[in-house]
Structures are given as structure tokens and as C-alpha cells.
Structure 1
């Protein structure tokens, strides 16, 4: 897929003025779809049908394929979706989702092809060589500085999700670092933080299954960024926000029991198609002897340090030790009561056994 993205730029670069390093404009992507693949691109129909407002795109197959794009999207989101559409065509992927986000999954091949097209889009918009150079310069910084990350959002004209997901594709292979990628959603005014997406390469304790109805630790960077966003951004500011206004955050997280440490970097922003919903994305790196050799700013004392746990329901910290607790540790208390019952039963069994043998 990386080589396919390179081939795409080589094949169309001269004719459409998109070299191996220059950003590809939305207009260029639309023109290639129209002139090479015969597409009709519509940016009004979704708006005219409010019931379709949750979709980013809708695709109709035919002699002249038709792609509906939601006009409420940020420009850089529309750009990614156009690049993904080119991925389906350039890679010859026919079994695919026709709506974004898809309403239903018909087969594993559909999932695989959707993944391939999305990967291709990211690789076309954020060329491997350029991103690796940017990452190397970022990792070589002696102290933490969010500006290079924020400058990458602007230079590649992408969202935080696109940028960090691209990191997750390249960093493990080219820097030898395992990482995790987490995306959380939070409805403004609520106390619920929902884990939407995860890629977990470094054995991070993420209670996504057992924790569906539990409260994730409020000290995680993912949740801290969402809380800070809700505290500091007004409704008017949400409407005027651009992707260039999204600040990057950092945290060194240490698990309470295992003492495993993770350097986490991420962003939080409002969602454009989901009113009152904020989203955070982070990548985290397990701290070991090798990480310091790769990320020079890892030990910067200016980076916030936090002791974290899995969920509030499982955490032994007292209210005095953690003022961010969302609920009481009911599961931890239940486990303690279970252990106490077992100890009592074992003691009684031993006592009765001794009486029988006397």
C-alpha cells in the first residue's frame, strides 16, 4: 500500500501537478476522480436530505459513479475521503462500504478493502518519506515542544486522527517502537467517556470489554484532554474552530500497580457531524531503555507526570489520594469481600477437618 501510494503520485504527478512531496489539493483529487474514473461529485444532496446528515459520504455505483460528500465536513476531512475514494479505484477494490460510516458489514473482504483504501489515502496525503523526516526531527528535540505536531497538521492539511493514525502505521516499522492508539468520545455536559477505537501493540491495560459500563481513570491523557477542552472552549468557539487551532498535549503515565510507564501524546477537538460531542486521540509509547535513545525529550521535567489506573471501580486510591474519582471502587470492594469470604470458609473447613480427625 505504501508503494501503491508512491506509484499513484508518480503516475498522476506530472499531469496534475502533485509531486512526491507537495500536498495534493482537494480540487486535484476531485479532478482525478472526474477525469480518470468518470465520477460525479455532489456536495449538496446530503444537505438537502437531513436524514442523511450523519454520513460523511454516500457512494452510488454505476456507469458514472456518484459520490455525495457532506458539506458540513472540514475541508481536510473531505480531502481524505476523496483520497480514499481514489484508493478504491486505483487499487481495484470493488467489495466496499457505500456509506461512511458504514451501516452494515457484509463480509470480511469489505472490511479489508475499506482498510486498504483508508491506508492508501493516508499514505497519499502524508507521504512516508516526508512524515519520517518530520518524526525524526520531532523525536530529536531535547525538550517537549508541541509546535512541530501542530505544524504537521497544517503542512499535511489533515485532522489529528489522520496524523496520529499515520504515526501508528510508520513508527513501529521504522523506529522499532511499539505503541498504542486510543480514541475517546465525550458528550459535553455528561460524565461518560467512551472508548471508540484502539490499536494496542504494547500490552496497555485497556478494559474495553469488561469496562463498557465502568469509568475509565480520569487521569489518562485521553480524558484529561477532553476535560480541558470542555472547560476552556465556548459554544461560539466550537463553531469557529479550525484544525489549526487544536493544541497538542503530553503526559507521562505510570500505572499504580505494575509501575509500567507510557509517554502519551495527543489532541482533543469537537466533532463536526456530532453536536455536543468532543473527541480525543492519543498515541502512547511504553517506556524502556531503548525509548530514551529514540525520543530525546522523554525525560523533560516539564512533561506532566500522572499515576493512573484502569477504572475507578477497580482502583484502591482513597478520595484523599485522588480527587478525580468518578465513582466508588465497587468492583475492588467486591473482590475484597470475596477474598474475605474465601478465607473464612477455608478457616472453617480446616477447623472442622481437625475436629473430625481428633
Structure 2
């Protein structure tokens, strides 16, 4: 058992004792001062016990138990009553022990204090939260990923230390040209970090043919399996991320493990890889040229993929880092949406998202509702599925759209790129970046009013959309209809009482 786990268990024991002591003292109608006088202990010491900060020796537990007329075993046991059991469940949970509260200026003691001030109310609150989590199938990993997104948003998704380290690595390893290759990264890992890289094994086995990479330290060597069926851009990103893990000294994310340090390390290594391929000074210059055009030029945008040798996902995600810092465009979102066009052609799943400054629309949801079919993201995926069915075309499709959000009076300029997966042939993915079209955006981006760009009124999901004449609808507006029925019922009841 490691030191962190031992400390966590000790803290739980102290917390439970504090809760029980406070409950029993109040049940006996004793103030801290009165309990102190009767037990021979100081009021300040008893207060520290109730807050979960101290754990008394056995003779002091006996003295307290005698005053409260309970056994020492009952007082010191780690069992709480039924109404407070959720507190025990929470403080012993994987979520509580792995949640990085310190990132938000909160420590475990702050949470213990909050719970001990009103344990019954906090317990009821926990029951409600846990029920919601179960209803929406929210896991600890989902919550930790949300913490990571909050961390990114708090820094506007731009990290100066990683920018500087990526430039330093480019210089140190001779990766100064815009489009260095995956082979160059392989050489760096082999020569500088004792890697043995195998590009054959993963693609030869059915169980691993959709796995991008796998790492194992073995006998002083770093064994790295890389799927040979990845595109050059994907290999470049994957190897750049591996270099980031070594260069930054971050913790590697293990398959199936739930640990925020690993999740954060994985993010930092990914950021490093993107910055390595798309250095800010060069990429900013290129984006300025794109934004100065009076009309959106598809070829200018797609040419950046070739110039830097990156995938559409790396390019678009890098934009979420550069646009807030260098262009002041921080009202934006990033989405990755996937579609199994062979087995489930009408099912679309958001597998990655980032929202800066606020939660934008569209966004992911776990309600099993149908995303609005008017999104450019889904339009492109449907178009790509048709092309794949006809001729297996793997050329990326680019789409742009001005999306006016139904009922919100806000508009986003959306750019999407859809393409098939090399290692999962039945799956297509689409990457979208949407930027709020406020006055500042219009001053920064000259093509904002390009008349060739499609304008569409869009919603979040079909079930919640009140655009009744929508031809793209995949499901009836069930939630809207339920709400309308409830409003009519309330109005009828109000009028019924009024006439009495």
C-alpha cells in the first residue's frame, strides 16, 4: 500500500470519528465546553477531532465515550448510521481520493469541513448527485476528463511552458523545418531515449489492429509498438507525443487506469506534440493570411495540413490554443464526432470536446438523444459515408457553415473536416471548430460575411428542438411536446381555480 493510500485511509477514519462525535454530542445536548469539562479534554482539542483533524489515543476515546454513554468501540468504529452512509461511501470512493481538488485551491480538509458542518444535508446532496451520475452513466474517468477541460479553459488552453519546451526540443533534436517526418522522430527516440520501435506487430493481429501504439519498458529498453497502418500525420503525432512523455518527464497514461496525474501527463505530452509540429510563430503567420481573405478559401486552409504534415484533428486543436492567445478569439468550441457508417449509419457520437469561455452549443450530452442533423459536422459525416459506400474515397471533406443557435440569438462560424479512419475502416470522424461571431470576430476575420457560406438555424437535439418544419429531423420533438403539454395543463388548472 503506497503512502498516499495510507494517508487517505487515516483521513477517512479521522473524518468518520469527527462526524460521530459531533452527532453524539448534539444528541446528548452538550456544548463543546460542557463535553470538555466532563471528559477532562480541552474544547479546542475536541473541536479538532470533530473537524477530522485529530485522532485521540484510546484513553481519550474512553473518556469521551463515558460522557456520551456509548462504548469506545461504537465511537471509534468506521460505521455511520444509514442516513450518513453516503458520506462514508464518498470519502472512501475512487473519485474523492483521485479528484485533484488542489488544482482549484481546495484541499481534502476543506471538503471534510464542508461535510462535517452539516453532515445530514451533505449526505442528502450526495445521494442526489450519485443518482444523477448513475442515471447518466457518468464514470470517474468522465469526471476527471471534465476537470482536465476546466484546467485547459482556466488557461485559455495556452501553456507557455509547453510552447517554450517544444521550441527547445525542435532546436535540440534538429527538427527545425516546418514538415519534419515521423522517421526523424523515430531516430530521436531510438538514439536519445533507447527505444526499440516495432511497426509490424500491432497490425498483424485482429485484437490489436485498431490500436495506435503500445509502450512497455523491458530489460532496460523502451519497447514501442507503432501501428504501420496509421497515416504519416498520425505516426508523426504519436511519436511526437512519445517524445513529449520522455522530454517532459510526465506520467504515462495506463490503459484502464484512473489517475489524474496520468490524464494530465497525457494532455501535456499531446500538447507538446502539436506545438512541435505547428510552432506558434509560423502557424500564426499562416492563419493571419487565411483570415485576411475576403472569401473563405478551402484550398488555403487544407494546404496547412500538407505544409505542416499534420492531421485535421491536430491542426484544429492547435487552433484552439493559438486563436485565444494571438487573435483574442477565446469564445470557441472544438468537437470530434464519429460515425460507424456501416453498422450504425444514423448514430453520431461526440468523442472529444473543448469549450473556451463558456459552454457553447452544440455540445455533447449523455441522454441518448439525437444530435441536430443541421450541424455541418453531421452533414459532412453523412456526405462522407455516401462517398465511402460508393468508392471508398479517403480524401478529407471540408465544410463551413454559419450556425445560428435556435432560441439563443447567437451565431457561430464553423469549420469542419471529415475523413475516414485508417485503422478502423468502418468509422468516419469529423473535427469541428466553431467561433462565436461577435463584433470582435468580424474585425479579425475578413471572410465572416462571405455570401457563399451556408447559413443554418440549428438546435442541440431533435427531441428538444421546436423547429417543427425541419426536414432533417431524425426524431420527433418529444421533450418540446411534453413541455407544451405541461404548460397547457398548468394554465388550465390555473383558470379552473380562478373561476371557482
Query: Under a length normalisation based on structure 2, what TM-score does the superposition of the two structures give?
Result: 0.65
Q: Does 1:87 align with 2:240?
A: no
Which residue of 2 is the match for residue 343 of structure 1? 491
Which residue of 1 is the match for residue 276 of structure 2? 124
Which residue of 1 is the match for residue 374 of structure 2? 219
Contact 1:268 1:278 in 2 (8 A): yes
Q: Does 1:69 align with 2:222?
A: no
Q: Distance in 2 between matches of 1:337 and 1:273?
A: 48
Contact 2:380 2:397 in 1 (8 A): no
Contact 1:146 1:247 in 2 (8 A): no
Over 3 Å counting, the alpha-carbon distance change for 1:207 and 1:29 in structure 2 is closer
Q: Distance in 1 between matches of 2:277 and 2:287?
A: 16
Contact 1:252 1:261 in 2 (8 A): yes
Deviation at 1:230, TM superposition (A): 1.8
Q: Does 1:332 align with 2:480?
A: yes
Q: Does 1:136 align with 2:293?
A: no
Deviation at 1:9, TM superposition (A): 1.2
Q: Does 1:198 align with 2:346?
A: no
* CA displacement, residues 23-67 of structure 1 (integer Å, 9 cap, x when unaligned): 221111011100100000001121233212231000002311010
Q: Does 1:175 align with 2:327?
A: yes
Q: In the alignment, which of 460, 465, 487 is matched to residue 310 of structure 1? A: 460
Deviation at 1:349, TM superposition (A): 3.7
Which residue of 2 is the match for residue 276 of structure 1? 426
* CA displacement, residues 135-154 of structure 1 (integer Å, 9 cap, x when unaligned): 11001111111111110011
Deviation larger for 221-230 or 48-57: 48-57
Deviation at 1:105, TM superposition (A): 3.0
Q: Distance in 2 between matches of 1:52 and 1:234?
A: 25
Deviation larger for 21-30 or 107-116: 21-30
Deviation at 1:69, TM superposition (A): 0.5
SS of aligned partner of 1:65: strand
Q: In the alignment, which of 265, 272, 289 is matched to residue 415 of structure 2? A: 265
In terms of fraction of residues, the more helix-rich structure is 2
Which residue of 2 is the match for residue 9 of structure 1? 170
Query: Under a length normalisation based on structure 1, what TM-score does the superposition of the two structures give?
Result: 0.89
Q: Distance in 2 between matches of 1:279 and 1:204?
A: 20
Contact 1:150 1:247 in 2 (8 A): no
Residues matched between the structures, number: 334
* CA displacement, residues 226-282 of structure 1 (integer Å, 9 cap, x when unaligned): 1121223346434xx3xxx31321101111212211000110011122232111111
SS of aligned partner of 2:383: helix
Q: Distance in 2 between matches of 1:151 and 1:193?
A: 28
Q: Distance in 2 between matches of 1:76 and 1:351?
A: 72
Larger relative contact order (C-alpha < 8 A, sep ≥ 6)? 1
Which residue of 2 is the match for residue 294 of structure 1? 444
SS of aligned partner of 1:52: coil
Q: Distance in 2 between matches of 1:327 and 1:22?
A: 47
Deviation at 1:106, TM superposition (A): 2.9
Contact 1:254 1:307 in 2 (8 A): yes
Which residue of 2 is the match for residue 356 of structure 1? none
Q: Distance in 2 between matches of 1:235 and 1:109?
A: 45
Q: Distance in 1 between matches of 2:367 and 2:314?
A: 25
Q: Distance in 2 between matches of 1:247 and 1:296?
A: 23
Contact 1:185 1:194 in 2 (8 A): yes
Deviation at 1:195, TM superposition (A): 1.2
Deviation larger for 218-227 or 339-348: 339-348
* CA displacement, residues 157-180 of structure 1 (integer Å, 9 cap, x when unaligned): 111111000111111111111211
* Structure 2 alignment gaps of length 5 or more: 1-161
